[in-house]
Structure 1
C-alpha cells in the first residue's frame, strides 16, 4: 500500500465568524485507487476537494502529497504538477474546445483522457458552442 495523498487532523473554517466546515479530518488515499466523496449538501465535500487540490489551505492540520506537506512544497506547484479538477457545475469555457479546457486545468494532460471520456480526437478539437 503506497499512500499518495494524506489528510492529517485537517480543519477548515471560513469567514470572520470562523464557521467550521471540516473538523479533524484524517484520511489516507492510496496511489492507483479511485475514491468517491459523498454526503449531503453543505457537508464540506467541495471544501475537502479544494484542500486536496491545494486551492485552499486548511485552518489547521496538514495535507500531504507523497509524504510532503503541500504547504511547504508550495500550493501553486502542487496544483500545477499534480492536480486535475473537474467541477460539477458548468465551469467549462464555452468558446474553447474540450482540449483547450482540459489544458487550462492541467497543461500536461494527455489527450487520452478525453478519449477515455468518450470524445474522439475530432470532437476534442471542436468548439463547445457548436
Structure 2
C-alpha cells in the first residue's frame, strides 16, 4: 500500500513547519553605547545582556530564540576581543591587562606574558598588543 503523493507532501510540510526555526534575518543585535546588548526578533521577542555578554533577561521568546540570541551576542563579544581592557603596571615591575568580562592576562617584569585566566585567544592577543604599546 502506498501513500498518495498529496498526503506525503502535506505530511512533509507539517514536519517542516513543526521543526522550523525563525530565519536568521529576523534577528537584530544592538550593542548600546555602554556596551550592553539587546537582541530583538521580528515577532517581538527581546533578549537583554549586560556589558560582558551575560544574559540579563528575555521577554516573549521561545527557547530556540534565546539560544540563537545567546550565540549571536557571544560571537560579537568574542569578535571584539571581550570588551574594554585596562593595562596596569605594578610596583614590582610586572603588569596586568584586565577585560570587562573578567579575563586577566599577567606579564613579568621583563614584559613577557606569564599567564592568563578566563580569556579567549583574541583577548590574549589584544592584551599582548596593549602590553607592548604601554611597556
Give the TM-score normalised by the residue count of structure 1: 0.29
Higher RCO, Cα 8 Å, sep 6+: 1
Greater gyration radius: 2
Which structure dedicates a bigger proportion of its chain to helix?
A: 2
